[in-house]
Amino acid sequence: MTLPPRLRKFLVLSPPLIWVVLFMFVPYTILFVFSFWVQQYPTFAPAFQMGNYIELFRDPQYLQTLVRTIKIAALVSVFSLLLAYPYAYFLVFKVRRPGIRLALYMAVVAPLWVSYLLRAYTWKTILGTTGILNSFLISTGVLTEPSPVFLYNQVAMVLTLTYVFIPFMVMPIYAALEKIPPSLLEASADLGMGRSASFFRITLPLSITGVVAGFTMTFCLAFGDFIAAYLVGGPDGMMISNVIATQFGASLNWPLGSALALVMLVIVLTIISASDRFERLGQGKFA
Amino acid sequence: MTLQDITTAGPATLPKSSARNVAKIIDRWVWIGIASLILAFLYIPIAVLVAYSFNDSRSLSWPMSGFTLDWYRKLAENEQLIVAVQNSLYVAVCATSLTLAIGVPAALALDRLSFPGKGVFRKLVLLPIALPGIITGISMLILFRLIGFGLSLETVIIGHATALLAVVVTQVYARLQRLPKSLEEASADLGASGLQTFFMVTLPNIKTAVMGAGILSFTLSFDEIPVTFFLTGRDNTLPMYIWSTMRRGLTPEINAVGAVIVAASILLIFISVQLQRKQAIPATKSRS
């Protein structure tokens, strides 16, 4: 029995289409609509007003949290890049045996399979006042009493989030470096260019799309994170997601939370589309 | 050829000076040092996590006091934890099946069909990869609340399946693009129906990608917090249970859970590497 092509197309297409409309398109639309509603304790009422958005700009705590979140996410991306680039470069250009290269690549990607929550938790046990780092420093005589400076601040946030998300920086940079034809570097050496000149004029420009992809990925993941702040951030390390979660929990102001989520969504989408545009630009230039 | 070959290759008759050899050795050890530092940064915390699950003390501090398996015994006796593991398995199995059932046709549609609104469809499907989980979580929470649907493990499953769709679609789509259309055309020419072609030609060729996507979805669902946080009712999944325990205080029992998860992850990584190896073989065969 052969189905007419139109019916077949309909059968393939309808389950994902229905799902995407029902559980993605509709909820995002509702989120948008909800951000204009008003809170009427203990629930909320339909309305169309900009009050929630005005509130976000009037109360400085929201803007401060937003700026802090962007700062932490940017630092996470920068530190991930500083660690990931040399590592990927080492794998592609310095490790000769493919087996070892694959093993070292997997060694960086593998932690992604280990629970994110537990990887963040480990840093809490290491950095805490009674934690492993403090007791270690006391037992070696570096400190005389436990120091609270390691945990519950932005440094702990950047450290933990860099640790958690660094594989997302290594993967695209590795992919970009691997694609560079060795002949280009041979030609460059033959023409008398030094190593650093070859790096800055050939390797780096050709791998920049990987850097941008990794930057986008780590930034967006860190920007949206709301687990690390509860574990290692403390009040000083609260992220925009934590404020949203509070609006949907204790504060019970869903419309304001929706407005915040929408601001977050717009920022993430702007970064993704900018990165996409850059990538397409890059492909046009180097392909 | 590596950069090292290139930079050190010269005319064969030129004798290598010893200064050059020293520079080469230094260069090599500097690189090995950098790589070791990064690997230490990645693995020391995991080693600490596992090591303290065997430590004979309640406090997580240096020096370690002695070896014990008590924390594992406590795990085995912890009924709430066992229920949480069962819930997580249920959620991960259902969410993975569901997301595969929707994601594979979605990837097929994106690769082989043209239809109005395809661009928007693609964007929506792929959005959750970069979108913070919290946005998926709260937007579905509002939806369920408005239609009066009570929160339960089932709402968590729907949330996970939606968030993981992007993972399945990207993996399967990438494989489909490498699969020549001529195979399916031949199958149709020889009189196979659409379903026969799918199950006997297309599916066997994308099998490893589908399985890989399934394992990845399972792991991600098993570990998921942001969506679960907003969509679960009274029932706890494993990460939610661990999280609520953590917020009450740190105990080596959590380290023991962690060590078990690390062991399970190693097993899953091993399986997925085997799968990748298998998928590499047909690719080289078809080239020859």
Phi, then psi, of A239 in degrees rounded to 5: -105, 170
Nearest-CB residue to B133 (from A13, A217, A224): A224
Residues of B in contact with A3 (CB under 8 A): 193-194
In this complex, is the C-beta atom of A9 within 8 Å of any C-beta atom belonging to chain B? yes
Closest alpha carbon to A170 in B208, B271, B41: B41
Under an 8 A CB cutoff, do A245 and B125 touch? Answer: no
Under an 8 A CB cutoff, do A226 and B226 touch? Answer: yes
Task: Kindly report the nearest CA distance between residue B62 and chain A, in angstroms.
Answer: 5
Tokens of A153: 């601040």
Q: What confidence score (pLDDT) does residue B5 get?
A: 47
In this complex, is the C-beta atom of B134 within 8 Å of any C-beta atom belonging to chain A? yes
pLDDT in tens, B221-279: 998 999 999 999 888 999 999 888 887 777 888 889 889 988 988 888 888 777 777 65
**Which residue of chain B comes nearest to A203, CA vs CA?**
B3
Residues of A in contact with B45 (CB under 8 A): 119, 122-123, 126, 163
Exposed/middle/buried for residue B210 (C-beta within 10 Å: 0-12, 13-18, 19+): middle
What Cα–Cα distance (Å) separates residue B179 from each residue in B130, B183, B265, B286?
Answer: 27, 8, 30, 11
In this complex, is the C-beta atom of A217 within 8 Å of any C-beta atom belonging to chain B? yes
- Judged against a pLDDT cut of 80, whether residue A4 lies above it is answered with no
Q: Which residues contact A204 (CB under 8 A, 6 or more apart)?
A: none
Exposed/middle/buried for residue B11 (C-beta within 10 Å: 0-12, 13-18, 19+): exposed
pLDDT over 90, % of chain B: 30
Buried b (16+ CB within 10 A) or exposed e, A118-133: bbbbbbbbbbbeebbb
Under an 8 A CB cutoff, do B113 and A114 touch? Answer: no
In this complex, is the C-beta atom of B250 within 8 Å of any C-beta atom belonging to chain A? yes
Under an 8 A CB cutoff, do B62 and A139 touch? Answer: yes
C-alpha B271: how far from its chain's center? Answer: 12
- Judged against a pLDDT cut of 70, whether residue A68 lies above it is answered with yes
What Cα–Cα distance (Å) separates residue A246 from each residue in A152, A236, A242, B142?
Answer: 19, 16, 6, 15
Q: How far apart are CA B58 and CA B241, in angstroms?
A: 20
pLDDT in tens, B130-184: 788 899 999 999 999 889 888 899 999 999 999 999 989 988 998 888 888 888 8
Nearest-CB residue to A125 (from B3, B52, B131): B52
Under an 8 A CB cutoff, do B140 and A185 touch? Answer: no
Tokens of A118: 């537990």
The secondary element (H helix, E strand) that includes residue A38 is strand A38-40
Alpha carbon distance, N-terminus to C-terminus of chain B = 23
Q: What confidence score (pLDDT) does residue B8 get?
A: 47
DSSP assignments along A67-108, one per residue: HHHHHHHHHHHHHHHHHHHHHHHIIIII---HHHHHHHHHHH
Nearest-CB residue to B193 (from A2, A16, A26): A2
DSSP assignments along A113-146, one per residue: GS-HHHHHHHHHHHHSTTSHHHHHHHHTTS-SS-
Phi, then psi, of A40 in degrees rounded to 5: -130, 95
- Mutation site for A-interface testing, chosen from B48, B62, B64 by largest number of A Cβ within 10 Å: B62
**Which residue of chain B comes nearest to A244, CA vs CA?**
B134
- Judged against a pLDDT cut of 70, whether residue A283 lies above it is answered with no
Q: What confidence score (pLDDT) does residue B193 get?
A: 79
- Judged against a pLDDT cut of 80, whether residue B4 lies above it is answered with no
Under an 8 A CB cutoff, do B225 and A116 touch? Answer: yes
pTM of the model: 0.86
Q: How far apart are CA B160 and CA B231, in angstroms?
A: 10
Q: What confidence score (pLDDT) does residue A31 get?
A: 92
